[in-house]
Amino acid sequence: MKLTVRLTGNKLGLQKVYLRADENLNRYLAVYIFNNVLYAAEKNAGVEQEIFKLDLDKHDGKEVLSVPQDKKAAEMRELETFIKYADSAEQAKFYAEQLKDKRLEYAPTVAEGAEEYLPELSVHTKGDRVLALSLKGNKIDILIDDKTAVKDLQIANTKPGAVYLETAWGGYGWSQRNLADDVYDGVFEKLIITENRGAAKEAILFDGGPQGYDAVKFKVKKLWDSLINWFVVNL
C-alpha cells in the first residue's frame, strides 16, 4: 500500500500513522513525527522497537551547530546590538573590539566532539509536512516533502492489519488557538491510501478529502469561516 498525508499544526507534538496494526495495537508498524523528529518503529508481541530516526532539521539541510558554536553566535549578536545602540562612538568602538575578539574565538564543532545544540521548540512554531509512505512486503520507503528520508527500510511485520492515526501534545502547558488561525495542533489533511502494485495509476483504497458536492460545500464554508474570523479580529 501507499499512503500520503499532509501533517499541519505545530512542530511541537506527535502525529503518528500506524500500519498493519492489530485491533489492540499489540502489533504494528508506526511512522511518526514527534517534536520535529521522524521515527519509524515496530511492535511485535507487545514490544516496540525503534528502527529509524531522523532529525527533520537535518533532512532540510540546516546547519548543525554545537552548544559552544551557538553560545558564540548568541554572544556575537549581543555585541552587535550593543554597538548599534551605544551611547557614544567611544563605547561603540569598545564593543567593536570585543566583537572582533569574539569572532576569532575558537568554538569546537559537533564533528570535533562537542555537544550538539538542539533548539527548543515553541508552541507557536507551525509545522507543515507532507508524509509519503510506500509499503510493500518487508520494506518501506519514507518521504518527507517529496525528499527521501529512508528507502528500503527492512521491517519484520508483514501481516495484514489496519491503519490508525494518532495525535498528541508534545510538551507541557496549554495553548489557545488564535481566532484568525485556521491551523490546529496535530492535523491530518488530504489522507490518501492506494494499492502498491507498481501500476502507473494505483487503485484508491481511501481518500479522506471531501468529494463532489461536499467538496464544494467545504470550500464555501472554509471561505465563510475565514471571512468571519477576519471581522472578529479586525472590527
Domain spans, the chain: 2-59+123-210, 67-104
Structural contact between residues 118 and 35, judged by C-beta atoms closer than 8 angstroms: no
Q: Amino acid identity, residue 220?
A: V
The neighbouring-strand residues paired with 52 are 40
Q: How many CA atoms within 13 Å lie on the side-chain side of 103?
A: 9
Full DSSP string of 112-172: TTPPBP-PPPPTT-EEEEEEEEEEETTEEEEEETTEEEEEEEE-S--S--EEEEEEE--SS
Q: What is the pLDDT of residues 98-129, one digit of tens each?
A: 999 999 999 999 999 999 988 887 777 788 99
Average pLDDT, the chain: 84
**Reported confidence tier of residue 221, pLDDT bands at 50, 70, 90:** low
Q: What is the pLDDT of residues 46-67, one digit of tens each?
A: 899 999 999 998 999 988 899 9
Question: In this predicted structure, what is the pLDDT of residue 19?
Answer: 95
Question: In this predicted structure, what is the pLDDT of residue 185?
Answer: 60
Radius of gyration of the chain (CA): 24
Q: What is the pLDDT of residues 144-173, one digit of tens each?
A: 999 999 999 999 989 999 999 998 876 544
CATH assignment of 2-59+123-210, among 1.20.120.1200, 3.40.50.1110, 2.60.120.560, 3.10.20.30: 2.60.120.560
Q: What mean pLDDT is predicted for residues 183-201?
A: 81
Question: In this predicted structure, what is the pLDDT of residue 220?
Answer: 52
Question: In this predicted structure, what is the pLDDT of residue 233?
Answer: 46
Q: Amino acid identity, residue 22?
A: D
What grid cell was written down for 191? 489522507
- Model confidence at 210: pLDDT above 60: no
**Interacting residues of 200 by C-beta distance below 8 A, sequence separation 6+:** none
Question: In this predicted structure, what is the pLDDT of residue 234?
Answer: 42
pTM: 0.72
